[in-house]
């Protein structure tokens, strides 16, 4: 009960910060949202409306930064910065800018801040061939807690991470 209450207080604090100035924070704690899918759809919708493109032709482009949430200033001009994601079965190598082998006894390392941008499916398709389609789940339970698929850079073949069951998690 203590962990649940602590998590609830963190969510309330996050939402309270949003209501203070009614603007997107420098980085959004994605796991702190009650419905992260709606936020991701809103990121796509914002660009689709601005460019007058159909929403069903849009997708999310993922760029992992080299910064942590504490280092973020204001929100990006386009898209959104998100933090609080963990990777299970691998880790993010900041210097290489790609998914790599996990370290011993490091089960779910934190991923640096991610920049999410909305792009057309055509534009994304040309880049995803060498990327791992990493599933994002709310919890380690996986299956019923699926949120989205983030295409992430990898130096290895994506099949390696598929076989390893690598996934992003919002809560550990």
Which pTM value belongs to this model?
Answer: 0.92
Where do we find the tokens 């280092």? 71
Neighbouring C-beta atoms of residue 157, cutoff 10 Å: 11
Residue 16: pLDDT band with limits 50, 70, 90: confident
Across the range 104-125, mean pLDDT stands at 92
- What is the tally of structural domains in the chain? 1
Neighbouring C-beta atoms of residue 137, cutoff 10 Å: 19
Neighbouring C-beta atoms of residue 31, cutoff 10 Å: 23
Percentage of the chain lying above the pLDDT 70 cut: 99
Q: What is the CATH number of the domain that holds 33?
A: 3.10.490.20
pLDDT value of position 135: 98
Give the pLDDT confidence of 51-78 residue by residue, as tens digits: 999 999 999 999 999 999 999 888 899 9
pLDDT value of position 6: 87
Q: Tell me the residue range of the domain where 118 lies.
A: 2-169
CA 102, chain centre distance (Å): 19
């Amino acid at each position: 009960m203590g962990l649940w209450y602590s998590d609830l207080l963190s969510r309330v604090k996050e939402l309270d910060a949003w209501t203070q100035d009614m603007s997107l924070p420098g980085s959004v704690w994605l796991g702190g949202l009650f419905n992260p899918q709606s936020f991701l759809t809103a990121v796509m919708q914002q660009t689709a409306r601005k460019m007058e493109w159909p929403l069903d032709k849009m997708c999310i482009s993922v760029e992992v930064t080299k910064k942590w949430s504490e280092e973020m200033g204001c929100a990006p001009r386009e898209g959104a910065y998100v933090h609080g994601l963990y990777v299970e079965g691998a880790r993010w190598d900041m210097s290489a800018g790609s998914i790599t082998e996990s370290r011993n006894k490091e089960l779910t390392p934190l991923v640096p801040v991610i920049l999410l941008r909305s792009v057309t499916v055509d534009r994304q398709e040309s880049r995803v061939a060498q990327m791992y389609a990493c599933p994002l789940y709310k919890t380690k339970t996986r299956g019923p807690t699926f949120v989205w698929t983030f295409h992430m850079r990898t130096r290895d073949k994506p099949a390696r991470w598929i076989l390893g069951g690598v996934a992003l998690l919002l809560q550990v």
